Each structure stands twice: as C-alpha cells, then as structure tokens.
Structure 1
Amino acid sequence: MTSEEILRFKTAFAFSVVTKFFAPQSLNNFISTRYMKAVFDIENIHAYNWAQFVADELRLAAASLQLKLSRGKNIGYINGCMLIPQIHYLDSLDFGKDSPPDHILPRFAAYNDAMVQEDLFTYTNSISAADQLRKIWLHISDPVPRFLKLQQIQEALAFDAEMQDDAFNVAVQALFEDEVHRFGGTDFLGWRHFLNQDFAMHATAGGADWNPEDHVYLFNDIHIPYDVSKSRLIYIPLHQPFHFSVYAFDMENEKIQIMDPLRDTSKGGQDIEARHSKTKDHIAKALQDCMVISFPDWKRNISSWQHEFPTNIPATANRLCMFLVHTRTSTTLNMHS
C-alpha cells in the first residue's frame, strides 16, 4: 500500500470504530461531525484518551435517557457503547450455585450465548414483586412506538400462555431486525418480509378501520433497507378465535399459502376453507392496496392469486412460537417448490 492508501485506511478505520463501537450515534448511518477532529491528525490518534471518551459518551447518553424518561418522551436510540453496561450487568448477576466461578475475571468471560439466554430467562421470570412487574423493560420508538412492561415479557416467555398483541408485534419487529443483521450486505437481504398482526387485524375489520395509507410504513420506509416489492415471501399473521394462522404470500410464484393448525371444526365452527373465505380476500386486497401505493410500478394483482392450505401445521398456544414455526414451514415448502 502507498502512504496515501495507508492514510485513507486509517481514517476509514477510525471513523468505523468510533461511530460503530466506541460511541454509536442515532444519525441514520451518517457520520457525526463531532468526530472529524479525531482524523485531522491521524498519526497521533493513539495519544488520545479513548477510554475517557467512551466513559464520557456513556454518561451523556445516560443523562439524556433520564431526561427523556422524566419528560415522558420516546426514548428512541440510546447513544454510546452499550457493550460496557452489558458487560458490567453480566458481571453483577448472582445466580447462587449457578453463577460463574469467582476466579474467572472478568466474570462475563465464563458466559457463552446459551448461558446468557438461560440466565436472563431465569432472572426475568424470577421477579414477582407487583411494583417491579409494572415497570417498563422494553421501549421501541421506530417504526411504531411500543413499550412492554415486565409482566408482559413474562407472559410472552410462557410458551403455554396467550401472548398479548404488543408483545407479539415487538417480537416480529425483532425478527425483522435479526434478518437485516443476518443478511445485511448480501443478496439475501429482504428475501422475506414480515408484517405485524395489526395489518391483518385492520384489513379484516375493513370499513373505517382500514386505510392503506396508515400501513405504508410497513413496506416503504427509511427503516426498511431493501425493496419489499422484490421480496420472495411476505408473511402476515392473523389472530383468529382460539388459534392463530399465518398467510405466506409467495411473490415469486404468485400464490398464497394459508397455514392454519386448526384443521377440523371442533373449535372454529367452520371448515378451514370456509373459515378463511372472507379473510383471505380482505388480506390479499389490503396487501395489493399497500403495494400499489408504495411502489408506483407495481402491476400485479394479488387479489387474483390462487391459495392453498399446507397440511401438518403444528399448533401451540404461544403465538410467537407458532409464527416462527409457520414461517419456517412456509420457507421449507417454498424452497422445495
């Protein structure tokens, strides 16, 4: 590498480390001008007190967070290196005989992903004080503001319990973000797209409850880093009496797979075809409406696509588990087809 190429690499590396690791900022992936001075004298960048910088940024983020909470504002993105408080949190957890050995320092070095998940699961479900259960543990500002109290999270973790709507929608949002993280920068980004259950709820209600403009953010918004019109699969969950179904729109083969675990009339009161005779039309039309508004070049007619009911769909009371099972089932079916 030439001296100029080395300088360019050092500059790019410094920007990357500072903006993505030391002090991430909520600037929609734009570089903060606060860091420009750090690269003016790149040869002496090693002399800066970066540990102090990281600590100062965390203090500023904590103060900003407390101010927003006190004023009842949306929390949004929390700046700063979140790995630092996460490490201290894991170091401070005490699970009695299940705690990591004291001779391992820092203690988080003894953890692996499975241990973290199991310990956090145990800790979350161990809290029973009424005042603690009412506290907000999770807050999302984009694309739709949502928050979950500890009690809602505990109910969501119970696989034999009915998951509340907000908890389910937060889980679907997390699933979407996991896909972006997993496939970002590859040709697989956006190969499947997830909608929350609010979409089907409003679509099937119809009338004044359905306005496609209110749901365009699910298809064409700054938080979606891919073209949904080019997605191969679009999943739409539908909550029905006593159970839960998933509509998988195969955008490549122009067909609709309706995954309904309730195959008989014991609880639904209707056979599977009759049960979805109206909802499939409402959901297909709603999806068509949003695609036309979101993508002016959209010419296909989703309402005319054929539908089918895959068999051997497992049932579970927990809607998130069922959604994950259904999406995996649909993905497998489409891969084989």
Structure 2
Amino acid sequence: MAAAADHDDDFMEPPVRSSSLPVKYVASVSRCTPISISSIVNDFNDEKKRLAREMKFDGILKLPEITNSREFSHNLLSRVSTEDIAIRMGDGSLLYFTDGDVHKVLGIPFMGKELRIPSMEEINHIKNIICIRLNVPEFKKITRTVLTDILSKKHEAPMSDDEVAAFKTAFILLVMTKFLAPQTLLDNICPRYFMALKNLDDIHNWNWARYVVNDIIAAARALANKLTDETKATYINGCVIFLQIFYLDNLELGPLSLKHDCFPRIMAYDKHAIKVRMSMDLKEKNQYKPTQFGMMKLRPRSEVCYNRHTMGMMSAFRAESGAVPSEINPDNSKLQHPSALAQMQFTTNIPTANNLHAKTSTSMGTPGSNGSLDLNRSVKSEQETSLNLNKTYPRQSLCDIEPPSFDLGIDLTPVQESKKVNWIKNYQTEDVSSSTWVAHVKPTAIKLTGTDIHNFIEGNDRVEYPTVSLYTRRLIQLDFEMYGETDAYGRRHFIEPDFGVHAIAGGDYWNPELFRQQFTGPHLKYNVSKCENIHVSLCDIKHWSCYTFNLHRRVIYILDSSKPEKSEDVRQYSRHTWIVPMLASAMQQCLSLFFSDWKEDVTTWAYKEPGVPTHRFEVESGVYTLEFMKNWKGTDVAKELNSACIDKVRANILLDILTIRDNVAALPDFVKQLVRQYEDGVVVKK
C-alpha cells in the first residue's frame, strides 16, 4: 500500500516539457487549393467550357492536377519583395512579376478596368443579386458545396439564361475564393472583386491578373509582418501556385528546363513536374526550421517567354497599379484605363506553339544537344564506329569467369596528364573557346565547346550533362578496345544520364522508346540484359550519384560520394528512397520491352549503399561518379580515390573525352597534338 501511495497520481507533478528541446517546424497551410478547381472543370461539357472562354478564363480549363507544397509556398511567399513586386533569388537578384506574367502563367484577363473595392451600399446590392442568381435565401448560405453543385450540375438541354448566370457567378466565386485570390476562412467569400459581378457580360473587360498580383503582395506583406513579430503564420493567402510556376519556369534546370511552347504555362506543370523541379532548387531542409529554396540560377532571358522587367519598367508598373487594396482602405485603386505596359509585356520572346507533348521526343533530348553546330549534317566519314564492330566474339558463360577489375592501368608517359590539361587550359583564345571541340551524333547529338572544356578543367561547378554523356559513350568504346576479344567484354554497360532525367520527370516525358539505342543496336556487340552491371548516372540538384543495377545478384547499388564510408543504411538519405524506385521502374520497362527473354522484375530488387570514397567539395561529385562507373568491381571501387588525386582523375576523364571515336567536330591544332601525344604515351598493363 505504501508503494501505491508513493505513486498516487494526486501527489505527482505532471511531466513538463524541457524548454531546451527543439520543436519540429510545421509550414503554414496555403488556402490556394487548385485541386478543388481542376477536379470540377475537368468534367465540364462543351457548353460550360464555352461559357468559361466567354469570360476569357480559358487558362482555368487547362489547370492540371496540382498539389500545393506547404514548404515551397511558404518559402516563395516569404521571398516576395512587396516594394519591388518581385521574388528575391538565392543570389540576391530580383525576379519581377506583373499582370502580364500572371496572364501567361494562368491564362486569365490581364487588360481592362481595375477591380476596385465597392462601397458598402454596392456590396449589399451585389450580394442580393448573387443570392437571386444562385437561388439561396441569404448570402451567408453560399458555401463551397453550393458553388460546386451549380458547376457540376448536369444539363440535358442547353442552359437557360438563369442557369448561365448562376454558372458564371458560381465559377468566378469558386475560382477566386479557392485559387486566384484565396482569403479569410473556408467558404467565407471575400467581396473585394464583387464590382465585376454586376454585369456578367462584362467580366472579360476587367484586369483580373492585376488583382491577383495585388493579392499576392498583400499576402506577402501579411506573412512578413508575422515573421517580424515572430508570430506563427498558421495560414497564408495569395495565389502561391502562380509564384511556383513562374519561379520554376524562369530557373535554369538543365535538361528539366521546359521549352516555353505552350500557354498558359501552368498546363506544363502537374504535381509531379513541380515536385521534381522544386527538389532541384532545394537549398536546405531542417525539420526544426523552414525549408530553404533558392539553389538554382535564372535562365537566360532569351530562353523564356517573360520579359524579365527592369527596375525602371517596374516603376511604371507600380505607378499604374497604385497601392495594394486592403480592407482598411477600401478605395485606393481607381485606375480605369487599359494597361499599356501590359500590352507591351505580352509580346513574347519565343514563338508560341500549342503542342506540349512535342518536347517528349525533341526538346527533352540529350542534355546539351542544343547549339549552333549543325549536328544533323551528313558526315562522309561517319560510321557506326571506327572499330571493327562487325566481328563477334565467342564467350564463356558469365558465371564461369571472375569479373575483371576494369583498372585500365593507364600510365601517361612521357608527359603527365595534368601538364597536358594545363596547356589546354592556358592556350584558349576567344575563338578557340567558342568553337565546338567535340561533337558526337550517335545515338543522339551532343557537343562540347572550348568553354565547356575550360569549365570542366576549372572544376568550380558541377560536371554538366553533356560531359557525363560523352564520357559514358567513351567508356563503352574503351571496354571494346581493351576487352573486345576477351570474355570480359560485355560484362558491364553504361546508360547516359538523360535516361534518369526522363525517368524522374515521368509522365509525358518518359518514353522507353527514346532510349532503345542505349540498350540495343548494331553498335552494341553484346546483350545488355546479360550484363552483370548496368551503370546509370544521375544528378540530383548539384550532386551526382551512380546507380548500379547488378543483374546477377538482383541488387541496386547506390554509389554516392557524399555518404560516409562503411555505411549501408540507404534510408537515411531521403533522395535515394524516391529516386531508386523510379529508376528501377524505368529500367524494368526498358529491359522487358527490348529483350523478349527478360523475366526478372527490377522493381522488387533490394538496394544498398556500400561504402565508397567521399568527396571534399560538392562540385567533385561528378568526377567521383564517373570514376565509380569506370572502376566499380561489383563490391567496391578498384582504384583508390581521394581529393588529393582529383585533378589527375579530372584530367584523365577530359583526355578520354577528347579521344572519343567518331568526333565530327575539329579539335584545335594544339589540342590535336596533345591528344596524339596522349594516345602515343598510353601504356597498357598486360
């Protein structure tokens, strides 16, 4: 009994949470819910679509399925400069936006009369009109359910005038409340744009895009005040989806940078497209503080459909816009004239096309294949390869021999490779830098200019996709040159990084047929499905990794130089947990499609992350990845690799690329001499 008394709840102090323990951060909830709109408009019949087009809200009809990311929305809204009407970039520059940009992204009216806040008398009058149109007894009875029921109602015959009025009114109320200008609490409709609802035939003559801009600025100002006061912002307002699409559309994302060939731009960004590109811009993720984005830089202005306004142009825009409307000052935006600036900014820099899927087979080709060099020209000397690939070699069963180390044993005598690379680096002139040094046309066109070579030598940024692709092709050639007449030839295969890019992008960007030539064809004298290892390189944000599919052990090895050695807990690295399944699915589709005897299921394979040498700087990850691909023995890396020898490894990679067979471009004369010396100086260990 005494023991029981000692533990009587009436005499025990309640547990107290230590104030020193960190609290997990939970991002604010955005009231912008595009899925509540797209789920309805996708079921519109032709008559309802025609009514939406009459109001010039065509873009809403093309709204894809989008899930709003809390972290991304909060970060972008917190980076909006309310004074400049711009998004602050990671490098400190400003990405300005105007109503013309809203029109290009969302496809809503961006010229015409300003949407001012009505007086209280006008509000009450318009509320009565709305109640009559929607057939509700009082305004507070109008909820989201009422609006969706009107929009989803099936009409056996053409709609009457009253039904058309109800549809248009419900459409504007729901789209504004849940998407374009979300405000206040759920189902509490904000009256600030009611002036446009007086005359439904005049809806297209109002500047709805300007209203969206003003609402975003008001939402950003409210969030900034919360952050300044260190007050928890439970909800955020504003059309943050516009910010997401506009921001991502302006970023330099390499092969994931979409061509601006379809409008409105939002139709190119479903939830998966946003997620993949958003992850590339991720700068810092910490469960105890807001997630930070801003890793990537802006694309060149010539590649986007936006005008990229200057400070002077934005001054004119702010003068036209007036102050941002607020509930306290109900009549501070009275401009009634069309926006001349908006007319000017709608002139696109890029010709418009309306075929989003065309980029699946064209614009989303091998990264780095664009440029002034005509890689489609006929080259008389071009062959499948300069090697004798018509000869086949009998091989023992793959299970009967031990795998080679693939240590090519290259000794670059008489001149060290680092000295050769320094010559290349120092002898570059402007003409040499701008010229194309390496151009390879099969299976797809890739080129490297002198500037690309110089940037790779410098090693101040990540290794770019064209460099990795060319080196991948060179490794296949080297295997044939070194092992073509032995049983070791064909034990491993290399897939170019565009495979991973398309696999991760998914949707319309993934098509196995785009990669048939990387798995089969006359240039490959072995059956890829019988290889022991298939290496796939992929860059996540700025970090390269190699994903090795071991077809004999049914294991996917993740060779990641950012991970400490001797640790195989792959799940501590979240990026691999979602990348590997997508790569596995893509690999399974290709193997089963291109090889009729493939019976395995790659998607069920285990995956491990063995200990490999780790890099010192993030920009070295590409070099490490290429070295892993070249020297992976099946369980570990054959050659010792560390930061002390990184320059030598980088030089080897470059010289291998410069000696690639079937280069249809002309190397500068001094580089040709160095390449000949490199080839003559190579001594292969027997």
Aligned to 1:299: 599
Which amino acid in the other structure matches residue 528 of structure 2?
V
Partner of 1:143: 443
| Corresponding position: 1:131 with 2:435 | no
SS at match of 1:217: helix
**2:103 corresponds to which residue?**
none
Provide the residue aligned with 2:624 in structure 1: 322
Query: What fraction of aligned residue pairs are identical, expressed as a percent?
Result: 23
The AA in structure 2 aligned to 1:283 is L
Q: Would the aligned equivalents of 1:263 and 1:271 in 2 still touch at CA under 8 Å? A: no
Deviates more, 1:197-206 or 1:304-313: 304-313
- What's the CA shift for 1:321? 1.9
Question: Counterpart of 2:501?
Answer: 201
Partner secondary structure for residue 596 of structure 2:
coil
Amino acid at match of 2:467: A
Partner of 2:48: none
- Are the equivalent residues in 1 in contact too, given 2:375–2:439 (CA < 8 A)? no
Which of 496, 504, 510 is 1:210 aligned to? 510
Q: Deviations over 1:135-194 (max 9, x none)?
A: 011111222221211111122233443222112211111111111111102111111111
CA change 1:320–1:77 in 2 (3 A) is farther
SS of the counterpart of 1:193? strand
Q: Which has the larger radius of gyration?
A: 2
Partner of 2:560: 260
How many angstroms does 1:116 deviate by? 7.4
How far is 1:313 from its partner? 3.7
1:242 alignment partner in structure 2: 542
Judging changes above 3 Å, is the alpha-carbon distance between structure 1 residues 114 and 226 closer, same or farther for their aligned structure 2 residues?
farther
1:220 aligns with 2:514: no
CA contact (8 A) 2:612 2:636 kept: no
Does the 8 A contact of 1:74 with 1:141 survive in 2?
A: no
Relative distance call for 1:119 and 1:131 in structure 2 (3 A) is same
1:154 paired residue number: 454
Change over 3 Å in CA distance of 1:181–1:144 after alignment to 2: same
CA distance in 1, matches of 2:631, 2:572: 18
Instruction: Using the TM superposition, give the Cα deviation of residue 75 of structure 1 relative to its aligned residue in structure 2, in angstroms.
Output: 3.8
Aligned-partner Cα distance in 2 for 1:283–1:208? 16
Report the 3-state secondary structure (helix = DSSP H, G, I; strand = E; otherwise coil) of the residue aligned with 1:203: helix
8 A contact 2:563–2:614 mirrored in 1: no
1:73 is matched with which residue?
Answer: 377
Residue correspondence of structure 1 range 19-168 to structure 2 within 5 A: 73-75=377-379, 77=381, 113-115=413-415, 117-118=417-418, 120-168=420-468
Aligned residue in 2 for 1:179 = 479
Pick closer, same or farther for the CA change 1:70–1:174 going to 2, 3 Å.
closer
Q: 1:72 to 1:289 in 2, by over 3 A?
A: closer
Q: SS where residue 444 of structure 2 aligns?
A: coil
Task: Report how far residue 78 of structure 1 moved.
Answer: 5.7
- Kept in 1, the 8 Å contact 2:548–2:556? The answer is yes
Q: Which has the higher helix share?
A: 1
Could you tell me whether the CA contact under 8 Å between 1:257 and 1:330 is conserved in 2? no
**Is the 2:468–2:626 Cα contact (8 Å) retained in structure 1?**
no
Change (3 A) 1:334 1:167: closer
Contact 1:180 1:189 survives alignment (8 Å): yes
1:274 maps to which of 567, 574, 585: 574
Tell me the SS of whatever aligns to 1:277.
helix
Residues 312 and 323 of structure 1, relative CA distance in 2, 3 Å threshold: closer
The separation in 2 between residues aligned to 1:71 and 1:323, in whole angstroms, is 28
- Matches of 1:332 and 1:298, distance apart in 2: 22
After superposition, give the CA deviation of every residue in 1:304-325 in whole Å (9 maximum; x if it has no partner).
Answer: 0001111244225245421233
CA-CA distance at 1:232 after TM superposition? 0.3
Q: Which runs of 5+ in 1 are unaligned?
A: 1-68, 83-111, 265-269
Which residue type is aligned with residue 600 of structure 2? R
Distance in 2 of aligned mates of 1:295 and 1:243: 32
Instruction: Report the CA distance shift for 1:142/1:223 in structure 2 as closer, same or farther (over 3 A).
Output: same
1:143 and 1:295, CA in 2 relative to 1: closer, same or farther beyond 3 A? same
Contact 1:212/1:289 (<8 A) preserved: yes
CA 1:165–1:226: 2 relative to 1, 3 Å: same
Return the structure number with greater relative CO, CA threshold 8 A, min gap 6: 2
Structure-2-length-normalised TM-score: 0.32
Deviations 1:18-50 (A, max 9, x none): xxxxxxxxxxxxxxxxxxxxxxxxxxxxxxxxx
The yes-or-no answer on 1:251 pairing with 2:555 is no
Which is worse superposed, 113-122 or 233-242? Answer: 113-122
Matches of 1:251 and 1:162, distance apart in 2: 30
For residue 280 of structure 1, report the CA deviation from its aligned partner: 0.6
Change (3 A) 1:201 1:116: same
CA contact (8 A) 1:284 1:303 kept: yes
Q: Distance in 2 between matches of 1:263 and 1:72?
A: 42
Distance in structure 2 (CA, Å) of the matches to 1:143 and 1:71: 12
Aligned positions, number: 232
Asked if structure 2 preserves the Cα contact closer than 8 Å seen for 1:75 and 1:139, the reply is no
In structure 1, C-alpha distance between the alignment counterparts of 2:561 and 2:545, rounded to whole Å: 7
Give the equivalent residue in structure 1 for 2:340. none
1 CA distance for matches of 2:504 and 2:380? 31
TM-score normalized by structure 1? Answer: 0.62
Separation in structure 1 between the aligned mates of residue 420 and residue 378 of structure 2, nearest angstrom: 25
- Letter aligned with residue 627 of structure 2: V
Change (3 A) 1:77 1:199: farther
Instruction: Give unpaired runs (5+ residues) of structure 2.
Output: 1-372, 387-411, 565-569, 639-686
Counterpart-to-counterpart distance in 2, 1:228 and 1:114: 37
Query: How far, CA to CA, are the matches of 1:321 and 1:162 in structure 2?
Result: 9
CA shift for structure 1 position 275: 1.6
Contact 1:76–1:140, Cα closer than 8 Å, also in 2: no
Q: Is the 8 A contact 2:560 2:612 kept in 1?
A: no
What is the alpha-carbon distance in structure 2 between the residues aligned to residue 166 and residue 220 of structure 1? 21
Quote how far apart the aligned CAs of 1:118 are. 4.9
Cα separation, partners in 2 of 1:243 and 1:254, compared to 1, 3 Å: same
User: Which whole-Å CA distance do the structure 1 matches of 2:378 and 2:462 have between them?
Assistant: 27
How many angstroms does 1:335 deviate by?
A: 9.4
Match in the other structure for 2:533? 233
> Quick check: 1:238–1:245 contact (8 Å CA) kept in 2?
yes
- Say which SS state the counterpart of residue 245 (structure 1) adopts: strand
Alignment root-mean-square deviation, CA: 2.9
